[in-house]
Amino acid sequence: MEILKLNEIKCKRFRILEMWHLFNRELKTIKDFQFARFLNKNKILLKDEIEFLQEMQKYLEKYEEFNKKRIKICEKYSEKNEDGTSKIENNEYVLKNKNRLKCESELALLQEEYSDAIKEQEERTKEFEKMLNEEIEIKLMTINTDYIAEKESIGNEISAEYYEILESLFFE
């Protein structure tokens, strides 16, 4: 019985990211040699696409500069914890009312100064999100469903969520 086979498959880029995270997380725990080999080979085959997506996901240099300055302003006006770090609640800096206007004023000036970089980053983010939904063709290893059915331990190791991610990589 042929266990692994290289096939050209069609899938959306977001699914490739899901596969990558799954392979990295599960590879350490899989006990079945052939299934671990299947995951590892696909991890290698996905590497170029993942590097491309990671590059597209990076902030532009000017936006990164803006973001660092934005954080400094927020930290300057935020309430402090006992250890001197900025107090953050619900993913936002906690500002005293007297500091809120000063902070918002400085942030508005900063946003005006970096408006082109902010706009460019927003466009890039939209393009990235659009790209994640594009269907592409990619060569990946597929695994025989008979082998998986035969190896009960694989079924026990992989949840229904993982099957959904991997189902395009099964062949009969």
Residue 97 pLDDT: 83
Looking at the structure, tell me whether residues 146 and 158 fall in a common domain. yes
Residue 23 pLDDT: 87
Looking at the structure, tell me whether residues 73 and 125 fall in a common domain. yes
Looking at the structure, tell me whether residues 122 and 149 fall in a common domain. no
Cα 140 to Cα 9: distance, rounded to the nearest angstrom: 7
Looking at the structure, tell me whether residues 45 and 82 fall in a common domain. no
Looking at the structure, tell me whether residues 25 and 11 fall in a common domain. yes
* Secondary structure class of 142 (helix, strand, coil): strand
Residue 172 pLDDT: 76
Predicted TM-score (pTM) of the model is 0.75
Residue 159 pLDDT: 63
Looking at the structure, tell me whether residues 70 and 123 fall in a common domain. yes
Residue 101 pLDDT: 92
Residue 155 pLDDT: 60
Looking at the structure, tell me whether residues 125 and 65 fall in a common domain. yes
| Domain span holding position 155 | 4-57+135-171
Looking at the structure, tell me whether residues 77 and 42 fall in a common domain. no
Looking at the structure, tell me whether residues 101 and 65 fall in a common domain. yes
Looking at the structure, tell me whether residues 9 and 68 fall in a common domain. no
Looking at the structure, tell me whether residues 122 and 70 fall in a common domain. yes
* CB neighbours of residue 3 within 10 Å: 17
Low-confidence ranges of the chain (pLDDT < 50): none
Total domain count, the chain? 2
